[in-house]
Structure 1
């Protein structure tokens, strides 16, 4: 089935027809819960269920997740080998499969049993009593994804967590500090690295370039310059001009290969 429409502009006729085909496929193949289905828009990421009307609206308001080319959450079975589609696909896969993956990995594959118990609890614990769309684990993962995409500082992310904690109902399980949020994710190998980059994308400041302050290709500064407002002269180096958020793929592939049902599709 042609899915090139997923990369088309949302206002195009091609995209409109593609959405209609997708919704028909959902109605014929996907399993519903109270007439709701997983929504593959870039906001819901197949973690939140919507009725067909809202699903249709989300696909036009937010767009479909372009890496979701195999509709496994809507009844499609993958028989042929699957090629690698990069870190973005890995992240999307993990975003929707965390709870299932944890159970399949099993306690023996964790160094300490308490890590396994903690992950199981976080994957089952509702964000707040009576709410089922997000668990403590999936909510934390989605917030970290927003942090990475929008380049939030640790300080601003902690402030957001504190605000959300106050806004949510009592007894909510959302982490209140970035340290606590990292503890939720890191046992599953979801660490990330921040790497300085040239503003023109010439180089990454790693390995032989790690100590450089200027790009060896274009000569631009690695850091933003601070200026003294009184003298209008340059001061010390400021924040990095550009930062790449790197999500190491190897730990994620290890987790994916540990899921027996999916292992054959990854070879």
Structure 2
């Protein structure tokens, strides 16, 4: 079926006709969903089930996910390649395992992290069980962990599921037997985090010389420098990170943060930062939330997020490109002492601003000095 309409303007006849063809295809091929289908608009991202009329409205108003060309959530079967080709599909995001391996396989990464690369490559070529051509060990774990995150399964329930699946599969299968082993398989991917305890009075973080101290208050820091390196190691993402300089339409209208007086002032004040088009402009956001859905709970949870404004507007807001860099948890909110918890993040941001970090750009196949700046913050008044 023709997918070219997905790139057409939402107000065009071509796009509207394509939406109708898509909905007809869905109704014919996804009958098991019984009238409520996953909505592939850029707002729902196949994460919500809606009626046909709602989906039609969303697709016309918001547009369809541009890379959702294999309609696996709407009745189209995924082409499952052989294990030897390392092309198992991560169905939820549409990204391929081999693309991740390629990102990790840059020469600079292999030299610095050869054992980790070997582990990833081995798991990506190990069949789930003898004779299996549908899943490798790595692709199976990625698919299951993705479902765990999407539907909010607890670690205990996930372990129970792994035990059940392992017993159902043929003997000598390579599926991990618990959540801990699954995490170890994914650790080499680079999704590292640091658990840091804090003083109960929010005075200091227990790190460096006080790292052995323990408290009821903790924060989790997910280092941002390795994650920026991972983005630039992907040629497609690296190209998008220069979109604001290379492909943006500049006609005097305010179409992107690059057109704002604030951005232009920064370009004027810091010409060296401006001249490197891959320098990142970031937005920092934080707010408190209750993890248990009850306003009477005393527990406080504060996520800290980074958004990258170099990207096109339709990518800035995608979950893939919103970086969760810190989670502050404890019996009460950090309040005015949030700066204590932000210390590890601030240290990395200062390094990225003052010194820069050597990063491999897979798009142009060269190393460059990455620098970043916090362009703005997004928060309500209490935050």
- Greater fraction of residues in strand: 2
TM-score range, shorter chain: 0.3 to 0.5
Q: Which has the higher contact order (CA 8 A, sep 6+)?
A: 1
Q: Give the number of the structure whose alpha-carbon radius of gyration is greater.
A: 2
Normalised by the length of structure 2, the TM-score is 0.35
Normalised by the length of structure 1, the TM-score is 0.48
